[in-house]
Amino acid sequence: MRAVLIGDVGWEHQYHLGDEAMTEAAVAALRARGVADITLIAGDPAVSSPFYGIPAIRRFGFHTPWSRAEHERTLQRVDEALAHGEPFDDRSRAIFDAVRDSDAVVIAGGGNLNSRHVHHLFERLALVRVARHFGKTVLVSSQTVGPDLDDVDEPLVSEILVAATMVGAREQATYELLRRLAADPERIRLTTDDAILLRPDADDRAFADDLLTDVSERYVVGSFTMHPGTSLVPTAEYHRVVGASLRSLSQQLDADIVLVPHVSSLHADVRQADELAHDAIAAAADSDRVRVLPMMTARRAIAVMNGATLAISERYHPIVFAPATRTPVISLVTSRYSSIRMGGVLESYGLGAYAIPTECWSEGVVGAAAAELTRPEVAAHLQRVDEIRSREQNAWWDALIAAIGSGRPQPAETPLPIAPPLQAPWHDTVRAVRRVTDAVDGLQRQNGTLTARVDRAIRDADRAIGALQERNAELAGEARAARKREAATRAQLERLRKRRAVRLSDAVARTRRRLSALFRRA
């Protein structure tokens, strides 16, 4: 079988560990099930092809800064090219050819179907339309959809759902949303994140061992961003609070803290994004036990995670890797988007209360969470749940391969059971605060959307008024010019009249002189 796979991957100077992990897991899952011929649609094929060891082609190229009109025009170009049978550029030709020669189009996991990152939504919809044109099976795995999904974008998601034979939602909130939007809800499956299936190899483990040579046997893996999301905490205060929490946690657990970047460059001479955030946090921690590690691949990050006593992260995929390596984990939630994703994966492992909003974050809360999670029974709990989750996710990929062969969705399985939650008195408070902060974030998003619409309407009105003013100015100028032309014409006519009057007077005078001369001669 042959497959075309799209992922948000392949950038020269930015390696996004989570996006790459899901694509890498999808490639591995396809290969393990006999799909050896895989073409990857990526940002830069020259980066992705050697990294994954498969052919890669460029995406259509929907772009973040574009206006909605630009997205819609490019999507229309795809439609027109399909209708006329003639690609509009080299990129579209390569995509058309790859899809035509494939058995299936697979959309790899991610949070790509929402209004916040609408260029991803258009990119995937364009690919789905190509797949439908050529009659190919469409499969969607490991997705978070929304929570920011404007009314204008819901039909785009619904169109993808109509085309897809099977769709995997990686948390309960997405599962419920997709079943509401789908014409055939039975095509939607509740899964976990595909990256739980990613495993480091011997080279990755050797890399981790070398990197951790000077790190104590007990260590905590941390991962944080440059900014505190949609929370109202200033960035400098956010770095200070996280740094103080890590210093306190190091003392409490007698452990080193190693900070693993999630987004930066794999080029050692380019430091950006999370590496700079970790520099700021380590400086705020002011402890030689808080260490900043270099950017590394997803498999190597998992190898580092394997031996950790605890993980603590504002980034999403460390929250995925940790339970899959039987490592207890605390997440810092800075937005509704991260709350849905982190809360979703942690709830599936019974750790939902450890998705802690920024508003609840303090050294005391982190310390209490760490004390609970590092108990021996938690590791045993994670091992039991991970065995179930891994088995379920492998069964999901088995079903996807069967769907390629049959072209039909596979029989529905019982939705993933939520693992029994770990309980402590403060958990209910954290969950309640998270519900409030999620609601506030949602209102902020709605307000931002309405404000943006009002701003667009005002800009449109300003442009219309400006155009009218310009036209009025043009008309006024034209009227002034017409009056000047009229005055000039009148003046010219008056001069002509006067000249004619003078000529007539002269002619009369000449005539009189001639008559007088005749009378005199007579």
Residue 127 CA to residue 41 CA, distance in Å, equals 10
Reported pTM: 0.84
- Residue 496: the pLDDT is 78
Q: Can you give the pLDDT at residue 225?
A: 92
Contact in structure between 348 and 416 (CB atoms under 8 Å): yes
Q: What domains appear along the chain, each with residue ranges and CATH number?
A: 2-191 (3.40.50.11930), 202-386+419-424 (3.40.50.2000)
pLDDT recorded at residue 428: 80
What's the pLDDT score for residue 179?
Answer: 95
Q: In 12-62, at which residue ranges do the beta strands (DSSP E only) sit?
A: 15-16, 37-42, 56-58
Residue that has been written with the tokens 């950790």 in this structure: 308
Residues 6+ apart with CB under 8 A from 179: 185, 188
Residues lower than pLDDT 70 in the chain:
412-418, 444-461, 464, 522
pLDDT at 208: 97
pLDDT score recorded for residue 457? 60
Determine the Cα angle at 153 with ends 147 and 159, to 5°. Answer: 105
Can you tell me the distance from the alpha carbon of 22 to that of 108, in angstroms, rounded to the nearest whole number? 7
| CB of 186 closer than 8 Å to CB of 412 | yes
Is 219:212 a contact under the CB 8 Å cutoff?
yes
